[in-house]
Amino acid sequence: MKQAFILTVVLLITSTGISAFDTVATEAEKSSTALSGYARASAWGGGSAFPMTSLFAEISLQSEITFSKVYAETDIRLRKGYRFGEEEQLIDINKLVVGYSGKLADIRLGYQDVAWGRTDGFNPTNYLQSYDYFYLTAEPDDQSDPNLALRTRFRLSAYTELDLAVMPFYLPSVYRYELFDLGENVTFTEPHFPEPTLDNGSIAARLNFDFPAVGASVSAFRGYDPYHGFRVKDIDWATGTPRITNQAASYQKTSVGADLAIPLPNIIIKAEAAWNSTDNPENAMHIPNSYWMYVGGIEANPGSTTLIVNYIGYCNPNFTSLQIPQPNDPMNPMPQPAYAMALIDYENRLFNRRIFHQQEKFNHAASLSLLRNFSYDAWQAQLTTYYDITSGELMIRPVLKWNVNDQLSLTAGGNYMYGKSGTLFDYSSSVMNGAFLEFRVKF
């Protein structure tokens, strides 16, 4: 109930923001309407699990309507095609927001992205944003998944802003575990996520500083983490061989973090870190231990090239090694079911640790992104790589984009993931490896 009370207080504060901070109009009323969008055809295929992983056509209808200080923004997408061997036809609400922009406060309410953090690609303070990691297109930004949110930004000074965000209902990130080849005796059932009540909502606050010489923020979060693991739901011994049913499950956490960006001649130095505190990780395999995540990076812009290098680290202060179960007496069949249960528990806990980057006390990874424009920006080449130093997992993503004119563009590329047997990339590669092609027309 305490969290529901906090949510209610924030709602009351922000709902009175218009009258409290801007009771008198100081400029003439202005209204405008802007309509835009795109149509595209997208294909992704070549993986071992699905020869044609994704094939669809989509149209996006976008609008921005402004009347004085009140506005509305929409991005409604109509999509039809196939994904993972199944037909798909849907209306995707990518943005549906009403807002108010005053002298001292901005208020936004509706379906929207709330992405925080200054580092590139990996953001420890990005507490609220959900992602659909199995929405495979030429644009990685397509994976961001908007949620219903109330966001209020108070301008405390010319360089300081207080950002408050409330998400009354939980939206998990999408992991398609059921697509992985985990063996014929392992399946996934419907996930277990919190009920859509205010008690299960999320709240976050960020104090942001944007000075000419440096940008920084401190932030805090309480709620259910969009990232989640899984647990063993059931084990069926009817056939003599255990048939395991797993279930994705979410967990609550409390986080505090900070980020920093320092612009220097030709480079920007960025850093970001967060402490994430969880409850009961010892007894529940889908809950990670409390941990630090930290990222340090450099962005350089020599000529028409952009180079971004990141180090990504995780620290698990309460780390203890998992012990591989051993049968007490291999010749005695009686203890074997207990040994099998212990082995199932071990394997599932180990996989959850891989999901949360908690295989060791310290886990290390690095990423590199290289972007270059050619021929007066008519061509754009990009290479993104990620290497998990601790687990040996590798991802390479080359992309080539041709802007034929202001309206038409063609994008082609590939995605390659590799991991040792039993790692997350090992299972994901059969689904996500492949080549992609997209035709897009803007209007």
Q: Read out DSSP for 366-430?
A: EEEEEEEEETTTTEEEEEEEEEETTTTEEEEEEEEEEE-SSSEEEEEEEEEEE--TTSHHHHHHH
Token output for 371: 């972007």
Token output for 347: 């394997």
Q: Which residues contact 239 (CB under 8 A, 6 or more apart)?
A: none
DSSP 328: S
CB of 235 closer than 8 Å to CB of 347: no
pLDDT for 389-402, tens place per residue? 999 999 999 999 99
- Residue 353 burial (CB count, 10 A): 20
**pLDDT exceeds cutoff 70 at 269:** yes
pLDDT for 123-171, tens place per residue? 999 999 999 999 999 999 999 999 999 999 999 999 999 999 999 999 9
- Residue 313 burial (CB count, 10 A): 20
Strand order in the sheet with 186-188: 186-188, 243-249, 229-236
Nearest partner of 124 among 361, 269, 296, 300, judged by Cα: 296
Region 4-28: mean pLDDT is 42
What is d(CA 40, CA 299) in angstroms, rounded to the nearest whole number? 31
Region 289-315: mean pLDDT is 96
Region 398-421: mean pLDDT is 97
Q: What angle do CA 270, 272, 273 make, to 5 degrees?
A: 160
What is d(CA 237, CA 178) in angstroms, rounded to the nearest whole number? 21
pLDDT for 212-233, tens place per residue? 999 999 999 999 999 999 999 9
Nearest partner of 336 among 323, 349, 324, 325, judged by Cα: 325
Nearest partner of 147 among 123, 165, 163, judged by Cα: 165
Residue 16's pLDDT is what? 42
DSSP notation for 100-152: EE-SSEEEEEEEE-----SSSS--TT--S-EEBTT---S-GGGGEE-EEEEEE
DSSP 174: B
* Contacts by residues 20-27 (CB-CB < 8 Å, ≥ 24 positions apart): 20/105, 21/102, 21/103, 21/104, 21/105, 21/154, 22/69, 22/102, 22/103, 22/104, 22/105, 25/68, 25/69, 26/103
CB of 54 closer than 8 Å to CB of 85: no
- Residue 325 burial (CB count, 10 A): 16
**For the chain, domain boundaries:** 2-23+31-442
**pLDDT exceeds cutoff 60 at 352:** yes
Provide the pairing of β-strand 130-131 with 144-145: antiparallel
Q: How confident is the model at residue 336 (pLDDT cuts 50, 70, 90)?
A: confident
> What element of type H or E holds 232?
strand 229-236
Q: How confident is the model at residue 281 (pLDDT cuts 50, 70, 90)?
A: confident
CB of 313 closer than 8 Å to CB of 285: no
Region 15-26: mean pLDDT is 43
Region 314-341: mean pLDDT is 81
Q: Which residues contact 53 (CB under 8 A, 6 or more apart)?
A: 44, 45, 46, 47, 83, 84, 136, 431, 432, 434
Token output for 5: 């009370």
Phi, psi values for residue 439, rounded to 5°: -110, 130
Token output for 218: 């401190």
Q: Which residues contact 120 (CB under 8 A, 6 or more apart)?
A: 270, 297, 299, 308, 310, 369
Q: How confident is the model at residue 24 (pLDDT cuts 50, 70, 90)?
A: very low
CATH topology (fold) of 2-23+31-442: Porin (2.40.160)
